[in-house]
Amino acid sequence: MRFEDALLESHHSSLRHAGICLEWERCRGYRFGVCGALGDREFAELHRLSQPLAFTAREMLFEQGEPATSVFNITSGSARLYKLLPDGRRQIVGFALPGDFLGLSMADRNAFSADALTPLAACRFQRRGFSNFIDTKPHLLRRLHGMVSHELSLAQDQMVVLGRRTAEEKVASFLIGLRKRWARLSPSSVTIPLPMTRQDIADFLGLTVETVSRMLTRLAREKVILIVPDGVRLLDVARIEALAES
């Protein structure tokens, strides 16, 4: 069973026991997200505006260029966020993990498309309602502002990776970056889940599938990582961090 299937499975079975309250707990758990800025009463109020949704793998959450009507809070599973060029070239601008918010940018149209990498659960908010809610909560707006600022910072880091790093460094920094994000969700795990395909990684790093595969193979041959089904394990964290930091 894949990591994400397992996650979703536990999700669903809990749902069966606890009903919608589980969703509540799940959102509440991500204290680093939007909700971390809220008191219990505010959180309950916000939660009443939300609509729980489930997506199958490959299902679209929203599409580039369409009017942005919703805000999403991912509660389980992961998604890829990407832009397409007219000729089919693709750039993945990010991966969304549980606890991440999508659609915070307040633009009237989606700047990119998003689809599910795995079975995925999310809370959806109508943009109108969400917008009205934050208008009454200045501290929440500050939180949102901070989150968008953080995303901007990540995007700038990725610009360095895309513009100035070698293929090997790109793969290393991708693994390090992903490890850091998974660590918030399951600090104990020594394995980095990779719910995305090699093609997705390539489109995130500005490489080709073949180059990504070769670099992973090389790192594995040199005992820096161990490739496992749907993930990798870091064997030599110092070496790979050296590659990633340059």
Q: Residue 156 CB, nearest distance to DNA (Å)?
A: 19
DSSP the chain: --HHHHHHHHHHHHHHHHTTHHHHHHHHH-TTSGGGG--HHHHHHHHHT-EEEEE-TT-EEE-TTSB--EEEEEEES-EEEEEE-TTS-EEEEEEE-TT-EE-TT--SB-SSEEEESSSEEEEEEEHHHHHHHHHT-HHHHHHHHHHHHHHHHHHHHHHHHHHH--HHHHHHHHHHHHHHHHHHH-TT--EEE--S-HHHHHHHHT--HHHHHHHHHHHHHTTSEEEETTEEEES-HHHHHHHHH-
Q: Residue 151 CB, nearest distance to DNA (Å)?
A: 25
Query: How many CB atoms are closer than 10 A to CB 215?
Result: 22
Please report, as residue ranges, which positions from 26 to 85 form the binding site for a second copy (by CB under 8 A).
Answer: 83, 85
**Which one among 83, 137, 181, 198 touches DNA, defined by CB under 7 A?**
198
Residue from 186, 185, 179, 184 nearest 234 by CA: 179
Please report, as residue ranges, which positions from 203 to 232 form the binding site for DNA (by CB under 7 A).
Answer: 206-214, 216-217, 227
Q: Which one, 111 or 190, has the nearer CB to a second copy?
A: 111
Confirm or reject binding of residue 246 to a second copy (CB under 8 A): yes
CB of 243 within 8 A of CB of 204? no
Confirm or reject binding of residue 141 to a second copy (CB under 8 A): yes
Confirm or reject binding of residue 164 to a second copy (CB under 8 A): yes
Which among 71-79, 100-108, 135-143, 202-210 is the span making contact with DNA, rule CB under 7 A? 202-210
Tell me the site size for DNA, rule CB under 7 A. Answer: 18
20 binds, among a second copy, DNA, none (CB under 5 to 8 A by kind): none
Confirm or reject binding of residue 173 to a second copy (CB under 8 A): no
Query: How many CB atoms are closer than 10 A to CB 68?
Result: 17
**Which one among 197, 237, 242, 246 touches DNA, defined by CB under 7 A?**
197
What track of x and - describes contact with DNA for positions 133 through 172 (by CB under 7 A)?
A: ---------------------------------xxx----
Confirm or reject binding of residue 155 to a second copy (CB under 8 A): yes
Residues lying near DNA in the complex (CB under 7 A) are found at 166-168, 197-199, 206-214, 216-217, 227
Residues lying near a second copy in the complex (CB under 8 A) are found at 83, 85-87, 89-91, 93, 104-107, 111-112, 135, 138, 141-142, 144-146, 148-153, 155-160, 162-165, 203-206, 245-246
